[in-house]
A and B are shown apart, each in its own frame.
Chain A
Amino acid sequence: MANYSVGIFSHSSVSVPVKDKKLLEVKLGELPSWILMRDFSPSGIFGAFQRGYYRYYNKYINVKKGSISGITMVLACYVLFSYSFSYKHLKHERLRKYH
């Protein structure tokens, strides 16, 4: 990664720059700047997908005694995803008009 901070040459202050923070550690006020700083190039997006994939893979699948939940979570997300895509057509099969 670019701008890898070498220990003996780091700044005297202790804080980490905004760019390197994880999403859960970013304060709400910094959120827009954090989003803008992310790498939105094709390789950056691909890298983000890759990282996400490997995070999930190494946590739930690449273990000695993996359980079915590694797969069912993916299937559940797929179900929800495809439901949201077909909601437009399903809207017409509602049982009541007013909710």
Chain B
Amino acid sequence: METAQNSVPARSGSELRNAGQSWGQLGDATQVEGRVQNFHLARLVSGHLAPALTDFPIGVTGTLRLRPGLSLTMLSRVVLSAAATAAPSLKNAAFLGPGVLQATRTFHTGQPHLAPVPPLPEYGGKVRYGLIPEEFFQFLYPKTGVTGPYVLGTGLILYALSKEIYVISAETFTALSVLGVMVYGIKKYGPFVADFADKLNEQKLAQLEEAKQASIQHIQNAIDMEKSQQALVQKRHYLFDVQRNNIAMALEVTYRERLYRVYKEVKNRLDYHISVQNMMRRKEQEHMINWVEKHVVQSISTQQEKETIAKCIADLKLLAKKAQAQPVM
């Protein structure tokens, strides 16, 4: 049993079988033996854990009859075997060896027994006269009452003096004076030192408290900022409305611009056609006039020209006479 208990790694199937047999002494030799060949590939696993990979929990929990000094590893073995029953594929996946072991081991299952850390006690153990703990007086109280320890102390001192277990010498007076000075000093300045030490402690605590408060304040500020930013989310729609309005306006403006441009282009084209027509008409007119003039001028023969000129001269003479006659009036 000891070889199975110690973590000697199994190196061969025969050793595993021996280990299995040693466990089998506790009740299930045949079953453990039968399964050993399954773990031919599980040589990596140390000998005392191999039987736990069998999916036969009674083989391990049957050791309830063991002596009470059961190690914690037994508990993990039970867990492993329970896990193996739950997942029978584990039996065939035993060649994964330690990996399987790590996957099924449970950590941190016990209650943490130092969380939160208990605070320092306020006062230490009570001590009488600065030398003898109070527990001694309580120990003797049932048998001897209140004066018991004092009588014991006096008796011991007298015995030591009379039998010269304690020898009175020059050192005695030194010791007594030193003791006297110490007692006087402690009685006079004890409270002062105690207050000073308490003040130092308080300063330390105040510093830590301040750090804690600062941290809390910092976190509170962060929380408030977070909350305000979350509240801002509710007001997002203003932003979107403004953006939507802007976009609508821009669209409108572009639409109108383009409309105006279309109008201008169309008007341009139409003006062009109009001006072309006007020009054609003008050109036709001029051409016609020139043509008519030319022909008329051509048609005037030289003889007709002479006649007309003579007539014009005669008319002019007539007119001149008329004009001469009139201004005199």
Is A bound to B?
A: yes
Q: Chain A residues with Cβ under 8 A from B131's Cβ?
A: 69, 72-73, 76
Interface string of B58-102 (1 = CB under 8 A from A): 000000101111111011000000000000000000000000000
- Interface-side segment among B120-128, B230-238, B248-256, B314-322: B120-128
A60 interfacial contact with B, CB 8 Å: yes
Task: Decide: B120 and A63 in contact? CB cutoff 8 A.
Answer: yes
Task: Decide: A3 and B122 in contact? CB cutoff 8 A.
Answer: no
Interface string of A8-40 (1 = CB under 8 A from B): 011100000100000000000000000000000
Q: Chain A residues with Cβ under 8 A from B168's Cβ?
A: 95
Task: Decide: A72 and B130 in contact? CB cutoff 8 A.
Answer: yes
Q: Chain A residues with Cβ under 8 A from B169's Cβ?
A: 90, 93
Task: Decide: B120 and A62 in contact? CB cutoff 8 A.
Answer: yes
A99 to B66, CA, bound (A): 63
Task: Decide: B69 and A3 in contact? CB cutoff 8 A.
Answer: yes
Q: Chain A residues with Cβ under 8 A from B68's Cβ?
A: 5, 9-11, 17
Most buried by B among A3, A9, A90: A9
A15 to B162, CA, bound (A): 48
Query: What number of B residues sit within 8 Å (CB to CB) of A?
Result: 33
Q: Chain A residues with Cβ under 8 A from B71's Cβ?
A: 2-4
A67 to B187, CA, bound (A): 12
B167 interfacial contact with A, CB 8 Å: yes
A68/B120 contact (C-beta < 8 A), A73-B130, A94-B167 known: no
Task: Decide: A6 and B121 in contact? CB cutoff 8 A.
Answer: no
Give chain B's interface secondary structure class: loop
B15 interfacial contact with A, CB 8 Å: no
CB-CB contacts below 8 Å: B92-138 with A? 120-125, 127, 130-131, 133
A59 interfacial contact with B, CB 8 Å: yes
A44 interfacial contact with B, CB 8 Å: no
Task: Decide: A6 and B74 in contact? CB cutoff 8 A.
Answer: yes
Most buried by A among B66, B72, B123, B167: B167
* Residue from B64, B130, B164 in contact with A68 in the complex, judged by beta carbons closer than 8 Å: B130
Min C-beta distance of A86 to chain B, whole Å: 10
Task: Decide: A68 and B190 in contact? CB cutoff 8 A.
Answer: yes
Task: Decide: B123 and A65 in contact? CB cutoff 8 A.
Answer: yes
Q: Chain B residues with Cβ under 8 A from A11's Cβ?
A: 67-68
- Of all chain A residues, the one with the shortest Cβ separation from B193 is A68
Task: Decide: B69 and A5 in contact? CB cutoff 8 A.
Answer: yes
Q: Chain A residues with Cβ under 8 A from B186's Cβ?
A: 68
Task: Decide: B75 and A63 in contact? CB cutoff 8 A.
Answer: no
Interface string of A59-99 (1 = CB under 8 A from B): 11111111111101100100000010001001101111001
Task: Decide: A59 and B125 in contact? CB cutoff 8 A.
Answer: yes
A60/B125 contact (C-beta < 8 A), A9-B74, A65-B198, A69-B130 known: yes
B295 interfacial contact with A, CB 8 Å: no
Task: Decide: B167 and A6 in contact? CB cutoff 8 A.
Answer: no
Task: Decide: A64 and B121 in contact? CB cutoff 8 A.
Answer: yes
Min C-beta distance of A52 to chain B, whole Å: 14
Q: Which 6 A-B pairs have the closest CB atoms?
A: A69-B127, A11-B68, A3-B69, A69-B130, A63-B124, A60-B124
Mind listing 20 A-B residue pairs with CB under 8 Å? A3-B71, A4-B72, A9-B64, A9-B75, A10-B68, A61-B124, A63-B121, A64-B121, A64-B201, A65-B123, A65-B124, A66-B124, A67-B127, A69-B131, A70-B124, A72-B131, A73-B131, A76-B131, A90-B167, A99-B162
